Amino acid sequence: MSIDVVEPKTISQFEDEQGIYQPAPHIVEQANITAYMRSKGFSTWEELYQWSIEHPHLFWADMANRLEWYEPWEKVLDDSNKPFYKWFVGGKFNIVHNAIDRHLKTARRNKQALIWEGEDGSYRAFSYFGINREVSKFANVLKSMGVQPGDIVSIYMPRIPELVFAMLACAKIGAAHSVIYGGFSVEALRERIADAQSKVLITADGGYMRGKIVELKKIADEAMGHSPSIQTCIVVRRTGHNVEMQAGRDYWWHDLMSLPIATARCETVPVDAEHPLYILYTSGSTGKPKGVVHVHGGYAVYIASTLYFTFDIKEEDRYWCAADPGWVTGHSYIVYGPLIEGATSFMYEGAPNYPYPNRWWSLVEKYGINILYTAPTAIRGLMRFGDAWPNRHDLSSLRLLGSVGEPINPEAWRWFYNVIGKGRCPIMDTWWQTETGGFMITPNPTTPLKPGSATRPFLGIQADVVDEQGHSKGANEDGLLVIKSPWPGMMRTILRDPDRYVNQYWNSDPRGMYTAGDSARKDEDGYFWIIGRIDDVIKVSGYRLGTAEIESALVSHPAVSEAAAIGLPHEVKGTAIHCFVILRAGIEETPALEDELKAHVAREMGPIARPESIKFVSMLPKTRSGKIMRRVLKAQALGQDPGDLSTLEG
Ligand code: WT7
């Protein structure tokens, strides 16, 4: 006989019988989106959304009017040369004027803009006044180095405040920045510097990660050895360990900042709304990484409005986006978005579980974080250590949570919701990409939530799931995720390769929809469920890596003749890299060589690209035209049916 014990399924009072988490009335009542909805005379989000996609010009003009323009735009959208859309045409603008300068005229001048904690426990904080000083000084340094509007400055730094100052200083004087993630290594850095043709590289002696020093300057030295464009390297002293400084090329940041030219007065340069703000390299299905171009005007409008409505930022909030500034998440939602919104952005340098698995939770408690934005891989990683670690801390300051980078599995969602958010904090599962600039499919605090779904498109965004011919799929049918109309935060082109921009994102669809490269389905309520990449991109711990880059790192090793990389499911990383390698004739297959090849990939590309396994094989499945059929390798590894093999080489 069994005794019926009624166990509460969850500690949340907001979960209904269908497993949908209804928004709490007090959150709905005070939400930024509710205020906007009412101001437009609508009584439901659906009506507001419908209006926003029927009158995108009115909606985006509203959003642009939240920001300050030196000169107003003449036209919201110029679509005369699709897909090279232009937004806020004729407007004169600078994102830094909006992120810093305009706050200096208000009481926000003395508000904390950036709070930083190092992995070693060091603490630094900057008010808007303080951040302006650092940025202006460094902008003057860059000018003295000959950096001009239109130049691209490469930045390769740990997660420290100077990274933020460097980005803002470039933008202030109209130069574009290209931030290369500090976890990347020599070849990845060299390739990105070469494509950007940077004359200036900004780096640091090193950074801390899990108590160890990451030797950034050493890696930069190797990369610069093969980067003829570089004339100047500016080095922040972070770790203080010994590094080589090449006379005439390398300068210490602190030396330059104490020169008389580094005054704290520097005019922000008004630029065209369409002036390039930054280049960010991201992996695609083939070939070398793509330099995604974002611009000042539309991008600023887009990230500010998505942050305002989705994360519901309020004046008194302390907001923590735990990503790295080296990725688009950091660009949009650590640096530019929060500063434009006049928020307080918190940044932490190191690993989430260092020295103990409670580090993040202790930071939430210590700094009174209200909004925490992270990735499913981090949630799964911390979940493994058990509930006792977060339960030791007072997490009651949290009001809202966010997730990005890959689909969040419902188990991790519920843990985040119940154990971290204590059943009080809605989770914003934001789907977007480097290319989209900001959130595309995302809930807002008034949206009923289904764990694992990014819910519905943001205001002004028309998303759909279609077949290869561009016809809408029915409810719950898998298909291609597309965006059917332009938006201000969209990428403008690929640096030096506009054809690739057209072919990769627009041409595969005859109706000129933006193809995201993801598969998805839409349920009967119009909720989107992202399935994953349909191209040869692997998402390792939320980081985007191209199989082609991993394979080219492998074949650069003298023992390797051919290589193929695939992604297979992994409990914490989501997906892990597995490689198949054909060795050159006469080379012996040994476990030592396997280790060496793993280390070789990590050295070339960065530790995140280290393969989980390397298998030696004598042949690889290929099409008759010589393309490696990775899906066949994947099906074999998973013991699944490889599907149509008609194009397989006989
Ligand atoms: C790819 C873009 C956007 C910032 C970080 C990643 C996947 C992203 C989600 C989500 C399911 C997601 C997609 C997308 N992705 N967010 N909430 N749910 N999948 O930017 O490196 O450009 O990667 O990340 O596959 O295409 P990215």
383-410 confidence digits (pLDDT tens): 999 999 999 999 999 999 999 999 999 9
Q: What does the alpha-carbon distance between residue 334 and residue 323 come to, in Å, rounded to a whole number?
A: 8
- 3 state DSSP class of 156: strand
Closest ligand 1 atom to Cα of 329: 4
C-alpha R_g of the chain: 24
Please report, in angstroms and rounded to a whole number, the separation of the first and last CA atoms in the chain: 63
- What DSSP character marks residue 159? S
User: Quick check: 206 and 182 in contact, CB under 8 A?
Assistant: no
Q: What angle do CA 8, 11, 14 make, to 5 degrees?
A: 105
**How far, in Å, is the centroid of ligand 1 from the Cα of 463?**
15
What pLDDT shows up at residue 62? Answer: 98
- For residues 241-268, give the mean pLDDT: 98
> What CATH superfamily is the domain 535-638?
ANL, C-terminal domain (3.30.300.30)
Identify which of 180, 450, 539 to mutate to test ligand 1's pocket (most ligand atoms within 8 A of the CB).
Answer: 539
What pLDDT shows up at residue 509? Answer: 64
What pLDDT shows up at residue 510? Answer: 62
**How far, in Å, is the centroid of ligand 1 from the Cα of 404?**
6
Q: Which of 43-47, 377-381, 384-388, 637-641 has the weakest average pLDDT?
A: 637-641
What pLDDT shows up at residue 1? Answer: 45
What pLDDT shows up at residue 420? Answer: 98
Q: Which residue has the tokens 């904690």?
A: 117
Side chain identity, residue 624: R
Q: What ipTM score was computed for the predicted complex, to two decimals?
A: 0.98
Closest residue to atom 10 of ligand 1, CA basis:
431
Sign of the dihedral through C-alpha 101, 103, 107, 110: negative
- 3 state DSSP class of 471: coil
Closest ligand 1 atom to Cα of 530: 11
Q: Strand pairing partners for 469? A: none
**How far, in Å, is the centroid of ligand 1 from the Cα of 125?**
30
- 3 state DSSP class of 647: coil
Residues near ligand 1 (Cβ within 6 A): 282, 328-329, 404-407, 429-434, 454, 516-518, 530, 533, 539, 544
- For residues 468-475, give the mean pLDDT: 93
- What DSSP character marks residue 62? H
User: Quick check: 167 and 175 in contact, CB under 8 A?
Assistant: no
**How far, in Å, is the centroid of ligand 1 from the Cα of 414?**
20
Closest residue to atom 2 of ligand 1, CA basis:
433
- What DSSP character marks residue 420? I
**How far, in Å, is the centroid of ligand 1 from the Cα of 194?**
26
Is pLDDT above 80 for 650?
no
Q: What does the alpha-carbon distance between residue 139 and residue 15 come to, in Å, rounded to a whole number?
A: 51
What pLDDT shows up at residue 508? Answer: 66
Is pLDDT above 60 for 4?
no
What pLDDT shows up at residue 7? Answer: 46
Q: What predicted TM-score, i.e. pTM, was given to this entire model?
A: 0.94
**How far, in Å, is the centroid of ligand 1 from the Cα of 284?**
13
What pLDDT shows up at residue 9? Answer: 46
Closest residue to atom 6 of ligand 1, CA basis:
405
User: Quick check: 404 and 373 in contact, CB under 8 A?
Assistant: yes
Q: Where are the domains of the chain?
A: 535-638
**How far, in Å, is the centroid of ligand 1 from the Cα of 406?**
5
What pLDDT shows up at residue 10? Answer: 47
Closest ligand 1 atom to Cα of 435: 22
Interacting residues of 25 by C-beta distance below 8 A, sequence separation 6+: none
**How far, in Å, is the centroid of ligand 1 from the Cα of 438?**
11
Strands of 44-91, DSSP E:
75-78, 86-89
Closest residue to atom 12 of ligand 1, CA basis:
406
What six digits make up the tokens of 21? 């988490």
Closest ligand 1 atom to Cα of 537: 25
180-228 confidence digits (pLDDT tens): 999 999 999 999 999 999 999 999 999 999 999 999 999 999 999 999 9
276-286 confidence digits (pLDDT tens): 999 999 987 66
Closest ligand 1 atom to Cα of 543: 21
Identify which of 307, 329, 433 to mutate to test ligand 1's pocket (most ligand atoms within 8 A of the CB).
Answer: 433
Number of H helices, E strands in the chain: 22, 30
Closest ligand 1 atom to Cα of 454: 17
Strands of 158-295, DSSP E:
176-179, 200-204, 207-209, 212-214, 232-236, 250-252, 271-272, 276-282, 290-295
**How far, in Å, is the centroid of ligand 1 from the Cα of 99?**
25
Closest residue to atom 14 of ligand 1, CA basis:
433
**H helix runs in 271-407, sequence order:** 297-310, 328-330, 337-340, 359-367, 376-383, 388-391
**How far, in Å, is the centroid of ligand 1 from the Cα of 37?**
28
**How far, in Å, is the centroid of ligand 1 from the Cα of 573?**
14
